[in-house]
Amino acid sequence: MEIAAAGGHNIILIGPPGAGKTMLAKRVPSILPPMTLREALETTKIHSVAGKLKEVGLMNQRPFRSPHHTISNVALVGGGSYPQPGEISMAHNGVLFLDELPEFKRDVLEVMRQPLEDREVTISRAKFTVTYPSSFMLVASMNPSPSGFFNDPSMPNTSSPHEMQRYLSKISGPLLDRIDIHIEVTPVPFEKLADDRKAESSVEIRKRVTAAREIQTKRFEEIENIHYNAQMSSKLIREYCALDDQSKELLKTAMERLNLSARAYDRILKVSRTIADLDGAPAVISQHIAEAIQYRSLDRDGWLG
Amino acid sequence: MLVKVYGSAVFGVEATTITVEVHMDKGIGYHLVGLPDNAIKESSYRIAAALKNNGLSLPGKKITINMAPADLRKEGSAYDLPLAMGILVASDQIKAPEIEKYIIMGELSLDGSLQPIRGALPIAIKAKEEGYKGFFLPIQNVKEAAIVAGLDVYGVSNLREVIEFFAGKGTLQPTVIDTRAEFYKTLDFPEFDF
């Protein structure tokens, strides 16, 4: 989650029910770097237009929106007869959490493609055209199969392969294209649940994330419209993620062994650039690549094939 | 008599200033033009009741109200307050010098109190941009608009307060928020922590 926050990468959490996916997602806004005054102004404007400000002055926490999966595409993207910002605009400069991603209607997910690319959504109707900003980080969660379990030795998977294929294919294609990191979330054993030791607090994690973001801001200073690693185009990836021989070998082996696609290649490079930034390393080395490769579960054989 | 009062409409995340022109003449009638939607068309009932309950009245003359620009659709009930103020000034029931230096927005309840509006912040930003002196809005929205520095933002809870302000009496003070201080105060205390 730290890597996703540092590089602005969209992330999908896959795991059985109760593993803690929603809990993790809710805490993402707390490790994103604090909003600048300008970002806060933009976000407050949108919430003001939607009438959702509730006695608060300038918003200082990043918004966290988690719409239910029965949402319509107008409510998600914005519009209606009296134009209102949709959930993606309400999540501007914050996090949009789509819980149970395959449960969303297919056309609703399709409608999110342009905003994910352009960071703004233009709603055109017969009588008006309105543009809302919508630059957000997408966190999605899903169960690995309709029954909820997959590859878990203690719980039998009761879905047929055909059902699973259909379930997983709902999210394949353009949307998956834009999700850089896939994580499998496994259930927490009792010893860890009952453990009293505290993990790191958000404030600590946020410091590292902010430092990594600063590196990226400096890197992309000259380039318009790119503010963090997730937005890099192929050309920029070639420029900033140049690999040494050892890393190239590792990547080659991984791609052949795990049968990763070309889509995965670019993604791995982007994520490894963020990992290197978090490490404070100027160049991407093989351990960064190795870590990034782990985060492409859905591209492997046995998932979407 | 002709009076011009200023309000604002929000399209997307930006606001546009709307001029509410109220003209009183001999005769009878209430004509509201400028592509108002149903909520604005219903406002005459709200305004009439609100004025009556505050010791004023909707005059029985010929009232023509234009909301300029006339080809832009106006939506929402937030124009009740500027319409009411325009009618009062045009019928000489109150005096309001310099009313054209302010943006006024708010939905009226039948007793004259105000209901919250939407888009207060973009309106305040536009008002400051266009050089207005102040902004009257329902008190429930005052915190959003007070973020904008350099604009006198008055949060009002009923029609009386606005009338008294323009009469030179009244104790209405602009709301001032030190935006930066407020902003940095709660920055480090997230609701959900890792």
Q: Do residue A231 and residue A214 come from a single domain?
A: yes
Task: Write the CATH number of the domain with boundaries B2-185.
Answer: 3.30.230.10
> Are both A66 and A212 inside the same structural domain?
no
Express each pLDDT in B34-80 by its tens digit: 999 999 999 999 999 999 999 998 888 999 999 999 988 898 899 99
* Residue A124 contacts B where some CB pair is shorter than 8 Å: no
Structural domain includes residue A304: no
In a domain, A42, yes or no: yes
Average pLDDT of chain B?
A: 89
* Nearest beta carbon to residue A50 from set B118, B146, B183: B118
Q: Do A164 and A29 have their domain in common?
A: yes
Q: pLDDT at position A305, please?
A: 39
Q: Which residues span the domain enclosing A224?
A: 202-299
B141: Cβ contacts below 8 Å, ≥ 6 apart: A53, B116, B117, B120, B155
Same domain, A161 and A17: yes
Are A286 and A166 in a shared domain? no
Please report the ipTM that was assigned to this predicted complex: 0.82
Do A48 and B193 count as a contact with CB atoms less than 8 A apart? no
Q: Which residue of A has its CA nearest to B146?
A: A57
Whether residue A13 sits in one domain with residue A82: yes
Q: Are strands A84-85 and A78-79 parallel, antiparallel or unpaired?
A: antiparallel
Contacts of B62 (CB under 8 A, 6+ apart): B24, B25, B26, B27, B28, B29, B31
Contacts B15 to A, Cβ<8 Å: none
Residue after which a domain boundary falls, among A131, A166, A193 = A193
Domains identified in chain A, total number: 2
Cα B64 from Cα B22, distance rounded (Å): 6
Per residue in A8-67, pLDDT tens?
889 999 888 878 888 888 888 888 888 887 888 888 999 999 888 776 778 878 899 999
Using 50, 70 and 90 to split pLDDT, how confident is the model at B123?
very high
B120–A contact, CB cutoff 8 A: yes
Taking only the tens place, the pLDDT of each residue in A246-300 is: 888 888 888 888 777 777 788 888 888 888 888 888 888 888 888 888 887 666 6
Averaged confidence pLDDT in chain A: 82
Residues A236 and A255 in one domain: yes
**DSSP E strand stretches across chain B:** 2-11, 14-25, 29-33, 62-68, 102-104, 107-108, 114-115, 134-138, 152-156
- Does B194 sit within 8 Å of A48, measured CB to CB? no
Model pLDDT for residues A86-120, shown as the tens digit of each residue: 999 999 988 999 988 888 888 888 888 888 878 88
